[in-house]
Amino acid sequence: KQEVTQIPAALSVPEGENLVLNCSFTDSAIYNLQWFRQDPGKGLTSLLLIQSSQREQTSGRLNASLDKSSGRSTLYIAASQPGDSATYLCAANINTGNQFYFGTGTSLTVIP
Amino acid sequence: NAGVTQTPKFQVLKTGQSMTLQCAQDMNHNSMYWYRQDPGMGLRLIYYSASEGTTDKGEVPNGYNVSRLNKREFSLRLESAAPSQTSVYFCASSWAGSTDTQYFGPGTRLTVL
């Protein structure tokens, strides 16, 4: 079974700071990895999907990288804003099944 | 486009009662999923339907059944609810299975007393 870990569980930063969220997975036979954002009491919103053949994906102020050999993905948020405050989850999909394995998330607070 | 919709938003059941959670998507997606989210556990897959007419078990299928009614709708049934099924349930859909972006509904918060 794929184990997905996100550290830290919570992070607080001042507005304007650049930050990195971490995601690690145990099975390097990964098909793709997806980053989501979840606001309190809401569903998940997809941010970026990185296929195994890709090293990174970018969308606006967000950049996600994937390193299969080390079992790591990072989500870089540039110039953070209070509206970025949310829980960020990563989910890894391995080749053998039609299933994503989710981390428990990092709760981000951006302080104005 | 409404995206992925779920009903109901909240539900309280007594142990042993049954209920069906409804999910519908209007994006013409082929694949649909049911997850549960518990504190400290992350999201876990209950069942999925890779395409209309097929369903498969996920990580935690015990105590649940599903029906892929048509391409749009995928329901989750609890036949005899237990307190361990207290959770937030999310439905999701994607165009081409797990190779593709998943879109989530707003969730159903279920409490079993």
Compute CA distances A36 → A25, A33, B48, B74, whole Å: 16, 10, 19, 22
* Res. A96 pLDDT band, cuts 50 70 90: low
Say whether A42 and B106 touch across the interface (CB within 8 A): yes
* Res. A95 pLDDT band, cuts 50 70 90: low
Q: Does B102 touch chain A (CB under 8 A)?
A: yes
Q: Does A59 touch chain B (CB under 8 A)?
A: no
**pLDDT tens for residues B51-92?**
888 999 998 999 999 999 899 999 999 999 999 999 999 999
- pLDDT of A27 over the 70 cut: yes
Cβ contacts of A102 on chain B, cutoff 8 Å: 42-44
Mutate to test the interface with B, among A38, A87, A89, A99 (most CBs of B within 10 A): A99
In 10 A of CB B1, how many CB atoms? 6
Residue B89 exposed, middle or buried by CB count within 10 Å (0-12, 13-18, 19+): buried
Partner residue opposite A49 with nearest CB, options B92, B101, B106: B101
The maximal CA–CA distance of chain A, rounded, in angstroms, is: 44
Number of Cβ pairs < 8 A linking chain A and chain B: 61
Of A34-48, A86-100, B46-60, minimum mean pLDDT range: A86-100
